């Protein structure tokens, strides 16, 4: 299980570091999907919101790659992954595979680091 966790952590870190850096360096081809999905992506680029998301992805990806503050990185990446999944499932012309892969890797890491998240699953806080 330890090897699976290391592989999942490195893969998830590499995915988010690479795609986060792409927001700044533009080394992957930029394409806009057709329809409403393209309008949404275009709005994110024009408003520069994508730079904020890219910075968060790079920081969390780097934290995962260097194996520091992993529960913190997982906490920050969770809403990003949820938004990726919602985007790919609600705005159909985009591929769903990268989002599902990121979610599976995140779940593997969450299960391994679940003891660090136990304090947020308290029914009643005093």
pLDDT tens-place string over residues 50-67:
999 999 999 999 999 999
Other beta carbons less than 10 A from residue 32's beta carbon: 12
| Counted domains in the chain | 1
Residue 88 included in any domain: yes
pLDDT tens-place string over residues 96-108:
899 999 999 999 9
Residue 126 included in any domain: no
Residue 111 included in any domain: yes
Residue 32 structural domain: 2-120
pLDDT surpassing 80 at residue 94 = no
- The separation between CA 86 and the C-alpha centre of its own chain, rounded to angstroms, equals 12
Residue 46 included in any domain: yes
Q: Rounded to an integer, what distance in angstroms lies between the CA atom of residue 121 and that of residue 11? A: 27
Residue 106 included in any domain: yes
pTM of the model: 0.90
Residue 36 included in any domain: yes
Residue 125 included in any domain: no
More confident: 39 or 74: 74
pLDDT confidence of residue 49: 95
């Amino acid at each position: 299980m330890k090897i699976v966790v290391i592989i999942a952590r490195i893969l998830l870190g590499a995915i988010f570091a690479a795609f986060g850096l792409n927001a700044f360096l533009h080394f992957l081809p930029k394409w806009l999907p057709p329809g409403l999905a393209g309008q949404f992506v275009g709005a994110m680029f024009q408003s520069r919101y994508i730079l904020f998301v890219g910075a968060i992805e790079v920081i969390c990806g780097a934290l995962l790659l260097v194996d520091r503050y992993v529960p913190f990185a997982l906490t920050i990446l969770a809403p990003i992954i949820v938004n990726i999944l919602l985007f790919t499932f609600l705005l159909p012309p985009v591929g769903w595979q990268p989002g599902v892969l990121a979610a599976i890797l995140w779940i593997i890491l969450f299960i391994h680091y679940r003891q660090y998240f136990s304090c947020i699953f308290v029914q009643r806080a005093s």
